Amino acid sequence: MDLDTVRTFLAAADAGQFQEAAADLAVTQQAVSKRIAALERDLGVRLFTRTPRGAELTIDGQAFLPHARELLRVAERAAASVRAGRRPLRVDMIASRSAASGLMRGFHRAHPEIDLDVVMLIDIGEAVAAIRSGTIDASFRAVAMPGRPLPEDIASVRVLDEPLELLVGPAHALAGARSVTVAQLAGHRIWMPGLLPGTEWAAYYADLVAEFGLTIEATGPNFGSDALLDTIADTPALATFMGGRTRLVWPAGHGLRRVPVTDPTPVYPHSLLWRRDDPHPALATLRAHLAAAAPGHGAAGTWAPDWTIER
C-alpha cells in the first residue's frame, strides 16, 4: 500500500468518478484507473463499482474510507513533527518511565489538541544545547551540574520530586521488607547499568553514594530495562533503584518487589527547563498546567543533592 494510491482512492471516492479525481490529481484517467486497480489487487477486494456514469464505493470501499482518511492524517502529522516552524511541542525527558512521563500524560489528557513529541537526550548538557538551538522546546531534568550553572537564557522551575524505591527479586534479603532506611542499604550491591559518566544523573548517584556510603555498580552496558529486570529477578544479591512513581508493566512471572526507601527518602528532582524567548504557544500552556497540576517537592524527610536546589 502506497500513500499516493490512498490519496487517489480518496480523490475518487470524493469525486464519485475517476475522471474528475484524475483532473484533481493532475494525472490521466487511465492512471487513476490503474492505481485503483492496483490497490484493489493489493487489498484483495473491489473498492468501487464501475458504472458508465462514474464509480461508487462498494461496502468494502465504505469500510476502507475512514481508515484511508486516518492514514493520510497520520502521515501529515508525521511530516509536521519534523517540519521547521509551527511544529508539535517537543519535550525531552530522562527516560520514558520517569515521573516526567506521567506529567506529560496528564498534560495530554488536559490538552489533547496540543501535538506533542517526546525525545530522550543523553544528559542536561545536550538538552540545554538543544533548547538553545530551538531543536526542542522543553526538558525535564535535574537542573545544572556541580559547578556548571544554567546559562542566562534558560529558565527552569522545579516541578516534581520522584522518590526512589529499591527494586529486588523474590529471593533478595529485602524482598519481604515493607520499607528500608538508607543506612540499611550500606553493604548491599546496587546495580545500575548504563550510568554514563559526565551526565547529571550519574552525578546524582555519585552524590547519593558519597552522602550515605552506598555501593552502586555501574558496570556493563544498558541492554534495556527488560534485561535489567530479568537479571534483578534472578539474582538474589542484586538490587536496583527505580522511580517510585513509575507505573511499570511487570513482565509476567518475575516476582519483582519494590521497597520504599526512608530516612531520608532520596528523591530525583525533576525541573522543567525552557528557553525564555521560545515563542511556541503550547510552551506557556505546559508551564501553566505544571504550575497547577504538579505535585509538591522539597518535602521534609527527603534528600536531593545541593546542586539541584534552584536559586
The single residue among 37, 79, 284, 288 that binds a copy of itself, judged by CB under 8 A, is 79
- Positions in 169-228 near a copy of itself (CB under 8 A): none
User: What residues form DSSP beta bridges with 119?
Assistant: 92
The single residue among 1, 2, 73, 176 that binds DNA, judged by CB under 7 A, is 2
Pick one of DNA, a copy of itself, none as the site partner of residue 292 (Cβ within 5 to 8 A by kind). Answer: none
What's phi and psi for 50, nearest 5 deg?
-85, 130
Write the interaction track for DNA spanning residues 7-36; mark x where CB under 7 A is met and - where it is not.
----------xxxx-----xxxxxx-xxxx
Q: Is 118 in the site for a copy of itself (CB under 8 A)?
A: yes
Those residues whose C-beta lies under 8 Å from the C-beta of residue 225, and which sit 6 or more positions away, are 97
Q: Is 42 in the site for DNA (CB under 7 A)?
A: no
Q: Tell me the site size for DNA, rule CB under 7 A.
A: 25
- Positions in 41-70 near a copy of itself (CB under 8 A): 43-45, 47, 59-60, 62-64, 66-68, 70
The single residue among 78, 249, 252, 300 that binds a copy of itself, judged by CB under 8 A, is 78
Give the strand pairing for 180-181 and 257-262.
Answer: parallel
The half-sphere exposure of 62 on its side-chain side, counting CA atoms within 13 A, is: 5
CA angle 244, 250, 253 (to 5 degrees): 135
Nearer to DNA, 118 or 218 (CB): 218
H/E element, 141: strand 138-141
CA distance 68 to 2: 11
Pick one of a copy of itself, DNA, none as the site partner of residue 157 (Cβ within 5 to 8 A by kind). Answer: none
CA distance 200 to 143: 8
| Cell representation of residue 141 | 531534568
Omega before 264 within 30 of 0, i.e. cis: yes
- Positions in 49-88 near DNA (CB under 7 A): 50-55
- Contact residues for a copy of itself (CB under 8 A)? 1-4, 6, 43-45, 47, 59-60, 62-64, 66-68, 70-71, 74-75, 77-79, 81-84, 88, 90, 117-121, 130, 135-136
